[in-house]
């Protein structure tokens, strides 16, 4: 413990030096802007700005890129709450209740809860990263292909079960997303699947064009022609204070979101996205008033926002401790570190303690910077959104195109975004949730690979999923969820999802 | 009666059918040793079944007529503009493409004054290019005359 504190002291001497502080601040500001601008999420933002760090030394570059990452996590909530457009994919769940709160005149409170929740989650999870990284990383190492397969399967079932309304529709959307994720080269055999000669599709469909299309472009398509376009709700500083009841209602969701996000963050996958989905689902499940979700429940903002920020730190655990990226964003960060001559892994802490502990300490500093940015200065960022909608949406559209194009310098991604935008628009009209599609696209390659690897390990015996304790437990939970969803058919009573659907019908 | 769920269910089933047909080109493998077509076929079967169920039990969903489509003209215009940008981005270059897209949307679709549209379009196109390409060194496509 004393050694940890000594190391942290070393880290703070690095992080509080003016140049590092400056780059952490710049990273946070740029990250917040990246998060605020719909379509330019953290992945695109980090990818866009990676070349801009080539002239910096390793510590400054990594501190700045990390600032962009968690700055985008913070900033993504702003457009979600004020415009129902997620700044980045992890803010999708915040759109639902954040925007509903804003329409009820509680935009300031929603922003404050999101910022405070993100701050608490960010700070606590950095402590987790610092103290628990080695044993947690060791636990994640025990996950083999069967455990991954059952975990991913469980993730999809949890998402479908927790979706309001029809579980069948959510499962159909997840299946559609998984099918989209099948496009590209089959990693085990090298076959091109559904690519139709388009070379760029060899690597599969990227999550960025899918998420931007389904959420950014679809939103623009649905709202641009409305006679009364979506008002950008303009919170005043004095409206930022949540009520006592709102603080009470968000305390536990923030706590749960922090723990959940950190734990999910360690597990490979798009943790910051998955964690916000799972957190939202858990909060709705635990709520005494699930019917309020979708209509401005403060827990629906506090939980997911805390979870996605916590997951950001969690995702750094395997990357820093093992040199294994846990998702696309840590993968880009890993590449950035390698560009700067840093090799993350167990030896990093010993060989470059200034970098490792300076990075950890800069995350504490960054969280404070972001809290300052997101509360009093939220009005400054919101000014971006006060431009009249007929001028704002064309500009957002351009940033969507720019952000999607810049990730791979490929117009194919722009076409994918276009197709996903049209699909998302129709699905919105037909009352289908599009979030499971994004999750499906992210999970598809991992799901398929882990299934086939599991079968290769067991000579084709499916019993491997029952013979390994962790996999069997995860599978058992999944079966339980399916049975729970069937219970209303047997008992002929209404479960919480049916009640929610009825409540929604009654309101519309 | 045509309801949203019935239409959507049929559409999902048709997508599943398309995937099943297209998957015939790929080796299926076996249950013990799945090939590249295994997972797509499995997912298509799930999607198809879900689509049929949604369609069959979708009689109580809102009718297709009750869904508001008032913004469809704007939606089509935006999709056309996006298609244009995908086609033009690497031919005309970033700045020209974006300027055309913005000018069209603001002046023609939104019917704002032409001068405002041109100033806005040129400003955003040049400003975003300067920020990303020049300052941040993110390579954006150039068109004729280096524009």
pLDDT tens across B23-36, in order?
998 898 888 889 99
Contacts with A72 (C-beta within 8 Å, 6 or more apart), sequence order: A31, A32, A34, A35, A41, A42, A45, A87, A88
CA distances from B122 to A366, B84, B117, B146 (A): 35, 17, 8, 16
Chain B nearest C-alpha distance from A409 (Å): 8
Identify which of A52, A226, A414 has the shortest CB distance to residue B85: A414
Report chain B residues whose CB lies below 8 A from the CB of A415: 86
Chain B nearest C-alpha distance from A427 (Å): 8
- With bands split at pLDDT 50, 70 and 90, how would you rate the model's confidence at A105? confident
Q: B67 burial class (0-12, 13-18, 19+ CB within 10 angstroms)?
A: middle
pLDDT of residue B107: 93
Question: CB–CB of B128 and A402 under 8 A?
Answer: yes
Decide if pLDDT at A205 tops 80. yes
Q: Residues 167-186, chain A: which have Cβ within 8 Å of B? A: 168-169, 171-172, 175-176, 178-179, 182, 186
Residue B145 forms contact with A (CB below 8 Å): no
Give the Cβ contact number of residue A347 at 10 Å. Answer: 10
% of chain B surpassing 70 pLDDT: 99
Report chain B residues whose CB lies below 8 A from the CB of A186: 26, 36
- With bands split at pLDDT 50, 70 and 90, how would you rate the model's confidence at B69? confident
Q: Residues 268-327, chain A: which have Cβ within 8 Å of B? A: none
Instruction: Specify the range with the lowest mean pLDDT, choosing from A242-246, A288-292, A422-426, A493-497.
Output: A493-497
> Quick one: tokens of B100?
């055309």
- With bands split at pLDDT 50, 70 and 90, how would you rate the model's confidence at A423? very high
Instruction: Specify the range with the lowest mean pLDDT, choosing from A100-114, A152-166, A485-499.
Output: A485-499
Q: How many domains does chain A have?
A: 1
Decide if pLDDT at B104 tops 90. yes
pLDDT of residue A503: 47
For A374-402, the pLDDT digits (tens) are 777 777 776 766 678 788 889 888 888 88
Task: Report H helices in chain B.
Answer: 4-23, 38-56, 72-92, 94-103, 114-129
Cβ–Cβ under 8 Å, residues A38 and A88: no
- With bands split at pLDDT 50, 70 and 90, how would you rate the model's confidence at A73? confident
Give CA–CA dist A14/A6, Å, rounded.
13
Q: Residues 345-384, chain A: which have Cβ within 8 Å of B? A: none
Residue B56 forms contact with A (CB below 8 Å): no
pLDDT of residue B117: 93
Chain A nearest C-alpha distance from B99 (Å): 10
Decide if pLDDT at A231 tops 70. no
Decide if pLDDT at A23 tops 80. yes
- With bands split at pLDDT 50, 70 and 90, how would you rate the model's confidence at A373? confident
Question: CB–CB of B40 and A222 under 8 A?
Answer: no
Kind of pairing, strands A184-185 and A192-193?
Answer: antiparallel
Residue A227 forms contact with B (CB below 8 Å): yes
pLDDT of residue B7: 92
Q: Is the pTM of this model over 0.90?
A: no
pLDDT of residue A506: 43
Decide if pLDDT at A508 tops 50. no
Cα maximum dimension of chain B: 67
Question: CB–CB of A394 and B67 under 8 A?
Answer: no
Decide if pLDDT at A331 tops 70. no
First to last CA, chain A: 57
Question: CB–CB of A52 and B44 under 8 A?
Answer: no
Decide if pLDDT at B47 tops 90. yes
pLDDT of residue A328: 61
The ipTM (two decimal places) reads 0.94
Its domain, for residue A185, covers 2-507
Q: What angle do CA A225, A228, A234 make, to 5 degrees?
A: 120
pLDDT of residue A228: 65
Cα maximum dimension of chain A: 66
> Quick one: tokens of A283?
């909060």
Stretch A151-162: mean pLDDT: 74
Instruction: Specify the range with the lowest mean pLDDT, choosing from A408-412, A443-447, A493-497, A503-507.
Output: A503-507
pLDDT of residue A504: 45
Residue B132 forms contact with A (CB below 8 Å): yes
Decide if pLDDT at B38 tops 60. yes
Decide if pLDDT at A44 tops 90. no
Residue A472 forms contact with B (CB below 8 Å): no
């Amino acid at each position: 413990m004393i050694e940890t504190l000594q190391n942290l002291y070393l880290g703070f001497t690095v992080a509080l030096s003016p140049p590092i502080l400056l780059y952490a601040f710049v990273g946070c500001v740029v990250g917040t802007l990246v998060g605020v601008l719909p379509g330019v999420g953290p992945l695109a933002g980090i990818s866009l700005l990676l070349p801009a760090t080539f002239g910096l030394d390793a510590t400054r570059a990594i501190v700045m890129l990390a600032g962009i990452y968690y700055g985008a996590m913070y900033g993504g909530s702003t457009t979600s709450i004020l415009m129902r457009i997620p700044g980045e994919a992890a803010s999708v769940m915040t759109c639902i209740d954040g925007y509903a709160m804003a329409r009820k005149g509680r935009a300031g409170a929603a922003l404050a809860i999101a910022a405070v929740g993100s701050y608490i989650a960010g700070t606590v999870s950095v402590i987790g990263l610092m103290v628990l990284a080695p044993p947690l990383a060791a636990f994640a190492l025990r996950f083999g292909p069967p455990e991954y397969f059952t975990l991913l399967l469980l993730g999809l079932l949890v998402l479908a079960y927790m979706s309001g309304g029809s579980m069948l529709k959510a499962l159909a959307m997840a299946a559609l997303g998984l099918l989209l994720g099948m496009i590209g080269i089959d990693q085990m055999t090298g076959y091109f699947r559904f690519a139709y000669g388009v070379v760029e599709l060899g690597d599969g469909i990227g999550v960025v064009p899918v998420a931007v299309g389904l959420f950014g472009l679809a939103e623009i398509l649905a709202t641009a022609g409305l006679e009364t376009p979506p008002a950008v709700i303009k919170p005043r500083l004095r409206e930022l204070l949540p009520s006592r009841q709102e603080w009470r209602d968000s305390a536990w969701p923030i706590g749960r979101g922090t723990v959940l996000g950190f734990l999910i963050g360690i597990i490979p996958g798009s943790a910051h996205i998955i964690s916000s989905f799972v957190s939202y689902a858990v909060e709705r499940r635990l709520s005494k008033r699930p019917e309020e979700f979708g209509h401005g429940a403060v827990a629906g903002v506090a939980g997911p926002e805390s979870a996605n920020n916590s997951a950001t730190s969690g995702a750094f655990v395997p990357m820093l401790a093992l040199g294994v990226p846990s998702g696309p964003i840590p993968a880009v960060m890993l590449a950035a570190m390698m560009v700067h001559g840093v090799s993350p892994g167990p030896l990093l802490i010993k060989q470059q303690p200034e970098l490792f502990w300076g990075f950890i300490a800069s995350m504490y500093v960054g969280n404070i910077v972001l809290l300052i940015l997101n509360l009093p200065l939220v009005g400054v960022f919101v000014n971006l959104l006060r431009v009249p909608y007929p001028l704002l949406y064309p500009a957002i559209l351009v940033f969507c195109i720019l952000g999607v194009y810049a990730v791979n310098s490929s117009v194919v991604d722009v076409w994918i975004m276009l197709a996903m935008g049209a699909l998302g628009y129709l699905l919105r009209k037909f009352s289908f949730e599009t979030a499971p599609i994004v999750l499906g696209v992210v999970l598809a390659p991992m799901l398929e690979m882990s299934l086939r690897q599991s079968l290769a390990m067991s000579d084709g015996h499916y019993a491997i999923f029952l013979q390994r304790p962790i996999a069997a437990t995860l599978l058992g939970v999944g079966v339980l969820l399916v049975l729970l969803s069937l219970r209303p058919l047997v008992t002929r009573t209404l479960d919480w999802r049916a009640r929610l659907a009825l409540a929604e019908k009654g309101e519309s | 009666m045509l309801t949203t769920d019935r239409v959507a269910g049929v559409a999902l089933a048709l997508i599943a059918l398309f995937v099943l047909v297209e998957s015939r080109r790929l080796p299926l493998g076996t249950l013990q040793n799945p090939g590249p077509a295994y997972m797509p076929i499995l997912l298509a079967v799930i999607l198809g079944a879900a689509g049929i169920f949604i369609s069959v039990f979708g009689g109580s969903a809102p009718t297709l007529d009750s869904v508001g489509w008032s913004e469809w003209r704007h939606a089509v215009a935006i999709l056309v503009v996006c298609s244009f940008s995908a086609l033009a981005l690497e031919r005309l270059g970033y700045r020209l493409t974006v300027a055309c897209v913005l000018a069209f949307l603001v002046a023609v679709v939104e019917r704002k004054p032409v001068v405002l549209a041109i100033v806005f379009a040129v400003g955003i196109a040049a400003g975003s290019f300067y920020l990303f390409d020049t300052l941040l060194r993110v390579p954006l496509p150039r068109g004729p005359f280096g524009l």
